[in-house]
Amino acid sequence: MLTDLLGFPPQVLFGQLLLGLINGAFYAVLSLGLAVIFGLLNIVNFAHGALYMLGAFTAWGLAQFLGLNYWVALFAAPVIVGAFGMGLERFLLRRLAGVDHLYGLLLTFGLALVIEGVFIKLFGASGQPYPTPAALTGGINLGFMFLPWYRGWVVVASLIACGATWYIFERTKLGAYLRAGTENPKLLQAFGVNVPLLTTLAYGYGVGLAAFAGVLAAPITQVSPLMGSNLIIVVFAVVVIGGMGSIMGAVVTGLAMGLIEGLTKVFWPEASATVIFLVMAIVLVLRPAGLFGRVA
Amino acid sequence: MTTKLGYAAALILLLIAPVFVYPVLLMKFLCFALFASAFNLILGFGGLLSFGHAAFFGGAAYVTGHAIKVWGLPVELGILTGAAAAGVLGLAAGMLAIRRQGIYFAMITLALAQMAYFLFISAPFTGGENGLQGVPRGHLLGMIDLQDNMAMYYFTLAVFLAAFWLIARTVHSPFGQVLRAIRDNEPRAVSLGYDTDRYKLQAFVLSATLAGLAGGLKTVVFQLASLTDAHWHMSGEVVLMTLLGGVGTIAGPAVGAGIIVALQNTLASGPLSAWVPVVLGVIFVICVLSFRRGVIGELQALIRRSF
């Protein structure tokens, strides 16, 4: 019997592993969005955490003011926030074409400050509750642990989003254009493809992924203005560990880092906030290009 | 010639300023001007965007506070201990961060600084959320009572001027020239036989040490070291000051620091106090989109055009 695993009751161990898996799913979806945006725009989107928060708040607002339920929000919020993101790209980020990529990071940092600042002013730093959808309340006893349905759903939905992204990029014509735009935008433009439009779409898609993660997170964590700001720094570390070269790399690294964080919470709780940064430091020493990165 | 006149005028202004302006506000400005100038050494002249300089500023603030309050070191030694600690921290962070370039450098420094931030939260000597309070200002060289704001101001000014002079000398030295060559074209600098990683690391450590000097000085001025100093917002603020004043200009970061400190001070007492982060964010966006040369950069361009 697994009553006592390394001195920890299995409920604690598996419970933390599940939490780690959920966090890992968020890391995966967010770093995937960052990678999509980086591929086409060469910009590291510092506003990603703020847009994740915006996704959660959109879901909350749809429920609060329009009475729309979770399932509608799960599709509507990414579309709304994605459209907002496309506006940001079209009217602000596009003006930075041709200047040092660092300015893109600075611009999106400024945008993150503005978005988060406005929401703190409107809603305060504390969170708004968002109910778990009725169909997913409760859970199942697996014998070694209790699995709440909603938490299982978050992992499944995140993996579906990652799989869909993989399919779009690797198996569709649009994906072929996007990959070509990552490799050589000028040549692609010469072939008559509207690269600026493609870039706007890519930004919108990456942002939409962030908003999707935000909606998924809303019933677990409270909907608060600062829910994205610390998360995004961890996601940056995940991106440094995995590299932004491949979709699989982002997903695998994200999930693995979540699990490592979960395990650390069981065996060495004090280090759980820093373990991913520690892994990043070790990877930088042993494999400076990142686990899945190509040498720049 | 114009530059020299400008510096002379600025020096005179700084010398007589405490008669007209509240000295503590001026000291805050000097600390941040030093912080931003140190930061500019690595961004403006090394071309490396560090998004983790708050760790050096805040780390040194804690070490200085601890050294003075608990170990009982004299104030000058306390500040130097803080700066040295920031230098060591900078060496560790720099050795990791220079292994990647460009955008990754920014992400790595940010992540490492966040790690430092979490360590500061849990470490016993930082006082957690309360911070390190009531750090005594003590006596300079055992003689001058720094509790007097005027004495403290001129001490701060002296430290600032010495560090500012060191930064200007570094930028104009052969070392600074190599650094600029690396910024403009690293493969070329490598082909000329320069060990570019070593230059970048040295510049990073120097920048971190001077950022630490600013942090230690800040602790003595406000008699307080807190988590705010080490938070990533602080890293963002110093980027903004540098950008606003002019990246890669000698005087720009200090001017940018002056504008931001004055702005924060004005907004803090008005109805807009809750909007400060939003205002800073908007300035960030405007600067990046249409004011990339900054105040001093634009001035230089104007002077070049008109003469």
- Domain map (residue ranges) of chain A: 10-226
Q: How far is B115 from chain A (nearest CA, A)?
A: 5
Looking at the predicted structure, is the pLDDT value of residue B6 above 90? no
State the residue for tokens 């050494």.
B41
Q: For the residues of B194-207, what is the DSSP string, one character each?
A: --HHHHHHHHHHHH
Residue B136 CB contacts under 8 Å (≥ 6 apart), including other chains: B68, B69, B223
Residue B276 tokens read as 């400060």
Nearest CA in chain B to A287: B99
According to DSSP H, which parts of chain B are helical? Answer: 2-20, 23-43, 53-69, 75-97, 102-122, 149-172, 174-184, 186-191, 196-222, 232-245, 252-269, 276-290, 294-306
Q: Tell me, what's the ipTM?
A: 0.89
Are A21 and A155 spatial neighbours (Cβ–Cβ below 8 Å)?
A: yes
Where do the H-state alpha helices sit in chain A? 10-41, 48-66, 70-91, 102-123, 149-171, 173-183, 185-190, 195-217, 229-242, 247-267, 275-286
Q: At what angle do helices B149-172 and B2-20 cross, to 10 degrees?
A: 160
CA A68, CA A63: separation in Å to the nearest integer? 5
Is B96 in Cβ contact with A285 (below 8 Å)?
Answer: yes
Q: Is residue B31 very low, low, confident or very high in pLDDT (cuts 50, 70, 90)?
A: very high
Interface of A with B (CB under 8 A): 38, 42, 44, 92, 95-96, 99, 101-103, 105-107, 109-118, 120-121, 230, 233-234, 236-237, 239-240, 270, 273-274, 277-278, 280-281, 284-285, 288-289, 296
Confidence of residue B1 (pLDDT cuts 50, 70, 90): low
Under 8 Å CB pairs connecting chains A and B tally to 118
Which residues in chain B are closer than 8 Å to A296, comparing Cβ atoms?
Answer: 100-102
Is the confidence at residue B155, as pLDDT, over 60? yes
Chain A CA closest to residue B272: A121
CA distance B172 to chain A (A): 24
Tell me which chain B residue has its CA closest to the CA of residue A46: B107
Provide the CB-side half-sphere exposure for A169 (13 A, CA): 26
Q: How far is B106 from chain A (nearest CA, A)?
A: 8
For residue A142, the Cα-to-chain-centroid distance in whole angstroms is 28
Residue B123's CB is within 10 A of a number of other CB atoms, namely: 12
Cβ separation of A110 and B284 shorter than 8 Å?
yes
A92/B285 Cβ within 8 A: yes
Chain A partners of B49 at a C-beta cutoff of 8 Å? 102, 105-106
State the first-to-last Cα distance of chain B, in angstroms, to the nearest integer. 12
Taking a C-beta distance cutoff of 8 angstroms, is the pair B53, B211 a contact? yes
- Give the pairing type, strands A139-141 and B132-133: unpaired
Buried-exposed string B55-68: b where 16+ CB fall within 10 A, e elsewhere: bbbbbbbbbbbbbb
Of B28, B32, B13, B265, give the one whose Cα is nearest residue B152.
B28
What does each of the 296 residues of chain A score in pLDDT, given as a tens digit? 444 556 667 777 888 888 899 999 999 999 999 988 888 888 889 999 999 999 999 999 999 899 888 999 999 999 999 999 999 999 998 888 888 888 889 999 999 999 999 999 888 888 888 888 888 888 888 777 788 888 889 999 999 999 999 999 889 988 888 888 888 888 988 898 888 898 899 999 999 999 999 999 999 888 999 899 889 999 998 988 887 777 888 889 999 999 999 999 888 888 888 888 888 888 888 888 878 866 44
For residue B154, what are the contacts with CB-CB under 8 A and spacing of at least 6? none
| Shortest CA distance from B281: residue in chain A | A110
CB contact under 8 A, B96 and A114: no
pTM here is 0.90
